[in-house]
Structure 1
Amino acid sequence: MSNVRARLLAVLLVLCGVLTVTGPPSATAGTALATAVPDALAFDGTPLTVSGGRFVDATGREVVLRGYDVSGEAKLAENGGLPFASVADARKSATALRALGGGNSVRFLLSWAYAEPVRGQVDTAYLAAATAQMGAFLDAGIRVYPDFHQDLYSRYLFDPDSWYSGDGAPQWAVDLGDYPDESCGICLFWGQNITQNGAVKAAQYDFWHNAHGLQDSFLAMAEQTMTYVRQHLTAEQFAGVLGFDPYNEPYAGTYDSGQTSRTWERDLLWPFYVRFRARMDAAGWQDKPALVEPNLFWNANIDSQRQEGGLLDAGTLGSRYVLNTHFYDQKAISAILMWGKAADGQYVTDFGTVRDRAAAAGTTAVVSEFGHPLTGTVADKAPTVLKAMYQSLDSRVKGADWWTTPAASGPVLSGQQWQWDIYHGRHHELMNGNPDKVLTAADAWNDEDLSAVRLDDSGQVTLRQDARLLDRLYPSATAGTTLAFTYEDRSRDGSTTLTWNPVPASLPNVAQLVGSGQYGLLAWRSNGTAAPTELHLPASFPTASTTVVSDLGTVHAPPAYTGATGIAAAPEPGGTGSRRLLLTAPDSGTVHYALVTNGATAPSASLLAAARTELSAWAAQKLG
């Protein structure tokens, strides 16, 4: 990213246009462009840290990470356990993820099997390829956190003619166990192998009990991997690496006599994380958090699956650990436990549990996987399920109640949607090495179809879901503490536009300004940080059609940022063409608000002023 300033300036020049602005003197039309965007607006050469229960950047701003898991391709053998066939494909994917998907971060999948195919020997060719692919995302201004991924422990547990497959541990690790022939019995979903397949259960049990020194080998491999990544990224790239996810979806396999899910977390899972944390420190990752997952059934939404946990006995996690969990609506996926579609507020309780647990542990949280099948018998639920999940990441208050009780919103959660696989529908995977079972369709993994993207016939990355749902307005960096946030994306379920958070009739001028457009509203308390608050601007918010109503002023078609503008637009780092809205308020202890909408066409000064009056009164009453 050595040419980031030149790229940012080039995009800034494109943003110039005719501007209509009302408000304080700092928000004036036709402001001259500076020679470059200040350093605080690019990757600033320092990592994010965890402080006060938030991700915080070097300027003291509260950061929200949104993006995708990259990618389930790493589960497959066709590209040697890598997310991409080449660095060029990684660059193409990163550009699209930023510009089309609105992401500023990815969870980047790695494979133990390919990192250590021979016990005690890491494959530096694999690590070199994986590191170069990570670099493509970091160069696009996208923060990365690697994940040693596993599902069903290992592909080498499964027979060539099996109905299912796994990923994770190398063959030598499986050979040590002399496990029984795998069988899931009557299983409708691949995930049932976790609790029903004797081979999978026994292998997981062995790992957590360090049988044959398996865990020791994994940790040694992890340290070598992290050392390699640090040494082969530039300092600026490594600053964009958030931390490391040690182990995907941990589960006991089977419990010892008298053991519970909670005591398993206390006695086996948490000590593993402490050991992994020490390996991070030894590898030079001491300033980056471990993003640790509780047992995978902790926050399940089916009572028969839900288990006590959430690392309850780990004490205060603090700045060196992040609570990292997943969420899938198993009721909706089951087809029989939830007959209808998701509705406004469907998951506010589930995601509220994540917020509460992170707060009690003295850290922040990330929902590093969430999603829903896009084909099959339950695919018709996907538009509403995904909208409800994003809604609950934004706020713990459902849309119908948000304008009445915005102060109950809670922090905006970071999250990664599963998944971003550009090879969707174009795979060539020999399932379990079987040349007679070549998988090409969907995600080429146990009949899953969750990728948000694919390559079209011309080789261009194309969204498979509504862009209004995926490319969202969100506060990527807040100069202070977020008090409340909501985003009405107006995404679609077929031909129906979903509006779960309409502007109330008590704010008629705001409602007129928004009309049938999309809108978001952020309220925050400043903390004296000089750097601006930033919101990602979706492609559906072109600068010329974006309106902002704030206590900082009112602006239609925000001017380009110069470092001295109260409300402005600027490119996001990485040269992908994505943009952000900047709100500068270098005071402390003040409650600010900003409504951002694309629903207005050349709004009058009187309408902007009336909307501002309404919002100011609302903020004073509801936010204090």
Structure 2
Amino acid sequence: MEVVGMHGLLAAVLVAGLVAPTSAMHDLSVVDGPQADRLTVRPSAVDPADSVFGDGLGRQVVLRGYAISGSTKLAENGFTPFRSTADAAAAFATLPGSNVIRFQLSWEGVAPTPDTVDTGYLDAIAAQIRAATARGLRVIVEYHSDLMSRHLFRPDSWYTGNGMPKWAVDRLGLTGKEYCGPACVTWGQHLLTDNSGVRPAARAFWNNTAGVQDAFLDQARQALVHLKSALPERDWDRILGFEPINEPFDGGMEGLSSAQWDAQRLWPFHHRVRDLLDETGWRDKLQFAEPNVFWNSQLGPLVPALGSTPDPLHRSGIVFTPHFYDQARQLPLASPPASGAYLPNFDLIRKTARDWHSPALVSEFGAANDHGGATDTAKEITGEYQALNGLADYSPVLSGTQWHWDPYRGRHHEAQNGNPGKIRTTGDAWNDEDFSVIDQQPQLRDQAYPQAAQGDLVAFSSQALATDAAGDRLRWQVLRPGNGRDYFAGTPFALTIWQGRNSEAPTQLHLSSTLDSPNTVVITESGVHRLADLPGDPRQRTDELVRRGDRLYQWTDSPGVARHFQLIVRDPGLSDIELGELQRALSTVVAAGQNPARVFQN
């Protein structure tokens, strides 16, 4: 290993290659084993009021990946994300840096009739899941629905839905009844104004009218049992849990306040699901519970949130699982988001998760493709990842699955609501949406993040320099380590800060393609290193770094609760002397409990 900018005894020790003074040798074989896949929830040692994900090796875990995928909404695919298992394997082979996916299936696919569970459909789902777990991906199984059901719509309807099968809609007497008004400017308007089809269907589900909620849970029970039996042990190890419903909405409060509706309608449903998991062999898996979709909806200063901050569920095994989209950018007079714009929104998520005694996993966020103006795609996505990471001296690093990874973008052939005169081919082929990230610039679709930390994460910040709709690089962050100088406002970097040492297994960073360069430098409290010179296997040296593929591993061998850091910078443009000065400044500011990353606006 070439060591640059180091001096004195520390350099002599590292260059001499003395064996690290730990209770165990540095071993990378464990990081992809069963213990690494076992997910736990525990308090953070940095602030016990916060809960974090952990693995069976004792490390803190951050989950990042994509929803797979919007194609589940489409009849053309038979309500599966992929047309074949081969397509699934090909897609997962190109998924950059993800360690989790939110894998969708459909009630309509599982239960085509009231008394039938389609085991062929479930076997196809299991095979596609195995294509993911074979590549080491963790999986959240999610029943996806939007606007309740496509069967509420007619062949000539402007929009469509997905989820509830036709027999359930027939049972409610709502088949083809949708009507959101004389002008329906977006499909989401159905949630607010469609008092003929979509909203009554939602109310019926929450009230268990005609037993439709019972019917949903009955087929879910059979599906959960079947999927568990269809997945071999190592594949089952990588199933994190179950998300039973997408973007639940009330359909009308029926005189209840938002808090009362949560307590009397939504929370009882989530408790029924948790009971179901405990009874079907999923007891050790997590339930990912989403609040009312309107709880954090903000359409600018004129329209307040339509829900309220959800009270805690007060039950173990349940994870707070909100969504975030920037509806405010849809307003006529809106301006594009600036650096730091979403930090308050995601800090509200952090606060609510703290109240729940749960980590937060933001199971949907993202932005439509190729938009400029107020809905600038690059600015929205860059801002969302900036806010997921946080920029405070201490900020829980949030997990999330972006919407969505659809390899069929622009190559669909969906007859909307069964109408051969309305063949949808472009974008996502669903209600004029186009969110699939597969063709986005690498700076957006491949984000660096700490997959695991040997201790407890204190902060993480990164900058990828995506290009906005005007052709400008988004220089949205800067490092200010307290030596009177700003660093890397126009340079890609990732800074991880953690506290203590809870595991023999190393801190693990996903090395994004943006950061991978012959001139990339890694700076830690132990020294300055060239990425190109790092070995691919441990050499049993103190506090060593190893680079293997798109992962950067770092061991911290000293016990105690000291804070540690890793800064990786592409082409820093600094001399060895300047790098040494930066390394010392970072060591000082991190030890003092400060995060040198700051908001910057170009």
Q: Using structure 2 for the length normalisation, give the TM-score.
A: 0.89
Matches within 5 A, 1:530-545: 530-542=504-516, 544-545=518-519
Q: 1:336 aligns with which of 307, 332, 337?
A: 332
**Contact persistence 2:517–2:571 (CA under 8 A):** no
Q: Measure, in 1, the Cα distance between the counterparts of 2:16 and 2:221.
A: 53
SS in 2 for 1:328: coil
**Contact persistence 2:508–2:551 (CA under 8 A):** no
Tell me: CA distance 1:200–1:234, structure 2 relative to 1, closer, same or farther (3 Å): same
Q: Measure, in 1, the Cα distance between the counterparts of 2:499 and 2:88.
A: 38
SS in 2 for 1:468: helix
2:272 equivalent to 1:275: yes
Post-superposition shift, 1:236?
1.2
Q: Measure, in 2, the Cα distance between the counterparts of 1:63 and 1:347.
A: 23
SS in 1 for 2:571: coil
Amino acid at match of 2:55: D
Matches within 5 A, 1:80-119: 80-98=78-96, 102-119=97-114
2:544 equivalent to 1:567: yes
Amino acid at match of 2:545: A
Post-superposition shift, 1:127?
0.4
Q: Measure, in 2, the Cα distance between the counterparts of 1:561 and 1:273.
A: 45
Post-superposition shift, 1:172?
0.5
Amino acid at match of 1:591: R
SS in 1 for 2:321: strand
**Contact persistence 1:153–1:200 (CA under 8 A):** yes
**Contact persistence 1:205–1:252 (CA under 8 A):** yes
Q: Measure, in 2, the Cα distance between the counterparts of 1:121 and 1:296.
A: 31
Post-superposition shift, 1:604?
5.4
SS in 2 for 1:207: helix
Q: What's the counterpart of residue 74 of structure 2?
A: 76
Q: Measure, in 1, the Cα distance between the counterparts of 2:38 and 2:78.
A: 30
Encode CA deviations 1:425-450: one digit per residue, 9 max, x unaligned: 00000100111111111110000011
Q: Measure, in 1, the Cα distance between the counterparts of 2:486 and 2:388.
A: 24
**Contact persistence 2:78–2:109 (CA under 8 A):** yes
Q: 1:168 aligns with which of 163, 173, 178?
A: 163
Q: Measure, in 1, the Cα distance between the counterparts of 2:188 and 2:432.
A: 11
Select between 517-526 and 264-273 the one with higher mean Cα deviation.
517-526
Q: Measure, in 2, the Cα distance between the counterparts of 1:229 and 1:29.
A: 53
Encode CA deviations 1:165-220: one digit per residue, 9 max, x unaligned: 00001111000011272111111110111111121111111111111111111111
2:385 equivalent to 1:411: no
Q: What's the counterpart of residue 208 of structure 1?
A: 206
Amino acid at match of 2:171: L
Amino acid at match of 2:457: T
Q: Measure, in 1, the Cα distance between the counterparts of 2:199 and 2:294.
A: 15
**Contact persistence 2:477–2:489 (CA under 8 A):** no
Matches within 5 A, 1:234-383: 234-256=232-254, 258-302=255-299, 304=303, 306-312=305-311, 314=313, 316-318=314-316, 320-332=317-329, 334-338=330-334, 340-375=335-370, 381-383=376-378
**Contact persistence 1:116–1:170 (CA under 8 A):** yes
Q: What's the counterpart of residue 11 of structure 1?
A: none
Amino acid at match of 2:311: L
Post-superposition shift, 1:378?
5.4
**Contact persistence 2:72–2:81 (CA under 8 A):** yes
Post-superposition shift, 1:227?
1.5
Post-superposition shift, 1:372?
1.5
Q: Measure, in 2, the Cα distance between the counterparts of 1:381 and 1:231.
A: 45
Amino acid at match of 1:164: Y
Amino acid at match of 2:565: Y
Encode CA deviations 1:20-70: one digit per residue, 9 max, x unaligned: 5555567559999xx996332114255211111111100111111111111
Matches within 5 A, 1:594-605: 594-600=566-572, 605=576
Amino acid at match of 1:276: V
Matches within 5 A, 1:129-208: 129-179=124-174, 181-185=177-181, 186-198=183-195, 199-208=197-206
Post-superposition shift, 1:618?
1.7
Q: What's the counterpart of residue 400 of structure 1?
A: none
Q: 2:459 aligns with which of 484, 493, 496?
A: 484
For these two proteins, the number of residue pairs brought into alignment is 569
Post-superposition shift, 1:376?
5.7
Q: 2:39 aligns with which of 48, 66, 84?
A: 48
Tell me: CA distance 1:560–1:205, structure 2 relative to 1, closer, same or farther (3 Å): same
SS in 2 for 1:238: helix
CA RMSD of aligned residues (A): 2.4
2:428 equivalent to 1:443: yes
Amino acid at match of 2:420: P
Q: What's the counterpart of residue 526 of structure 1?
A: 500
**Contact persistence 1:93–1:422 (CA under 8 A):** yes
Amino acid at match of 2:252: T
SS in 2 for 1:426: coil
Q: Measure, in 2, the Cα distance between the counterparts of 1:206 and 1:27.
A: 67
Post-superposition shift, 1:377?
6.9
Q: 2:563 aligns with which of 591, 609, 620?
A: 591
2:409 equivalent to 1:424: yes
Q: 1:549 aligns with which of 523, 527, 534?
A: 523
Select between 321-330 and 213-222 the one with higher mean Cα deviation.
213-222
Amino acid at match of 1:129: A
Percent identical among aligned pairs is: 36
Q: Measure, in 2, the Cα distance between the counterparts of 1:344 and 1:510.
A: 17
Q: Measure, in 2, the Cα distance between the counterparts of 1:606 and 1:84.
A: 53
Post-superposition shift, 1:350?
0.6
Q: Measure, in 2, the Cα distance between the counterparts of 1:25 and 1:467.
A: 39
Post-superposition shift, 1:83?
0.2
SS in 2 for 1:128: helix
Q: Measure, in 1, the Cα distance between the counterparts of 2:18 and 2:298.
A: 52
Post-superposition shift, 1:160?
0.6
Q: Which runs of 5+ in 2 are unaligned?
A: 20-24, 44-50, 596-602
Tell me: CA distance 1:586–1:247, structure 2 relative to 1, closer, same or farther (3 Å): farther
Post-superposition shift, 1:559?
2.2
Q: Measure, in 2, the Cα distance between the counterparts of 1:27 and 1:515.
A: 31
Tell me: CA distance 1:312–1:80, structure 2 relative to 1, closer, same or farther (3 Å): same
Q: Measure, in 2, the Cα distance between the counterparts of 1:69 and 1:381.
A: 21
**Contact persistence 2:517–2:570 (CA under 8 A):** no
Q: 1:38 aligns with which of 28, 46, 54?
A: 28
**Contact persistence 2:259–2:311 (CA under 8 A):** yes
